[in-house]
A and B are shown apart, each in its own frame.
Chain A
Amino acid sequence: MVVDGLDETDGVDRLFHALADATRRDILRRCGRGELSVSRLAAAYPMSFAAVQKHVTVLERAGLVGKERRGREQLVRTDPDALARARRALDELESAWRARVDRMSGLLTEAAGPGTPAKGPDR
């Protein structure tokens, strides 16, 4: 599917672009600990409210944060999908290492030395 492929590429580009900036990564970290208003965020950086808002928009377009209007405030929260993706990476790394540890354990049993068969049909 050509159209799907294009969409996916755009998505990856947007994700990489969004994460390539230190301020935006910092915004992600802050919002990961709970939702924050744009004005609270703006107070944390030596830049204008408009500049911070622009960063938030880039993160939003990459699907990394969600924005929600509550009263006069705009609240920003880390996109749960992005966080779920990060968790999945650790889950996958964990299962890769668990499988490796199992294989290591198998080798150690197998290599226990001649005369000590790990498993024998007559034992």
Chain B
Amino acid sequence: MTVTSVDKDVDALTLTLVADFAAPVERVWQLWADPRLLERWWGPPSYPATFEEHDLTPGGGMKYHMTGPEGEKYGGWWRISSVTPPTALEFTDGFSDQEGKPNPEMPTTEVRMTLTGHGEGTRMELRSVFDTREQMEQLAEMGMVEGMTQAVGQMDGLLAN
């Protein structure tokens, strides 16, 4: 079992997940810090991610898109608020519009990730917080996240009205 615990707090709009990996901290950090590795796990296999920008410094960020089976592209971004290599990272995770600019109509989550040595391996603790309850419901309504990307266009259509 890689994921050792999950806590979901509906009132605090928070998901906390703890995972243990059989690899040293530095190698788990590389999965975040190396864009070529990051894009191999960030998106689901049917929607592989391509990171066009990857700047892991405070105030910097990521720009990426995922490509669907039909060749359709869905963009996203991160904004890094703090980074302590190789053990901690905090960022805002959001969606982009068709032009690749952050889409303010779409939900964002604040992500905090920490890595600590745990026995021979590494423990990763990840906390993801929605800004507001309405964002959380918005995400659920669209049935997104893993299969989220298909819904982005649909949602833009709804919000354009």
Contacts and interface: CB of A to CB of B under 8 A. Distances in A.
Given A9-B158, A83-B10, A90-B15, A15 B145 contact: no
Nearest to A88: B140
B120 interface: no
Interface in A53-89: 82-83, 85-89
A90 B2 contact: no
B85 to A, nearest CB: 17
Given A8-B158, A9-B158, A32-B11, A105 B2 contact: yes
Nearest to A6: B161
Contacts of B137: 15, 19, 82, 85-86, 89
B21 A108 contact: yes
Interface residues of A, number: 39
Contacts of A107: 31, 37, 40-41
Nearest to B23: A108
B11 A108 contact: no
B128 A97 contact: yes
B4 to A, nearest CB: 10
Task: Give the secondary structure class of B's interface.
Answer: mixed
A100 B42 contact: yes
A12 B8 contact: no
B133 A28 contact: yes
Task: Give the secondary structure class of A's interface.
Answer: helix
B141 A103 contact: no
Interface residues on B, range: 35 or more
A102 interface: yes
A29 B28 CA distance: 38
Q: 6 smallest A-B Cβ distances: which pairs? A: A89-B140, A103-B41, A19-B134, A96-B145, A92-B145, A90-B8
Interface of B: 2-3, 6, 8, 10-11, 13, 15, 17, 19, 21-23, 27-28, 31, 37, 40-42, 44, 109, 124, 126, 128, 130, 132-134, 136-137, 139-141, 143-146, 148, 158-159, 161
Given A15-B134, A85-B140, A105-B21, 19 more contacts: A9-B161, A12-B159, A16-B134, A19-B134, A20-B134, A28-B133, A29-B11, A87-B10, A89-B139, A92-B140, A93-B128, A94-B8, A96-B146, A96-B148, A98-B6, A104-B41, A105-B19, A108-B21, A109-B22
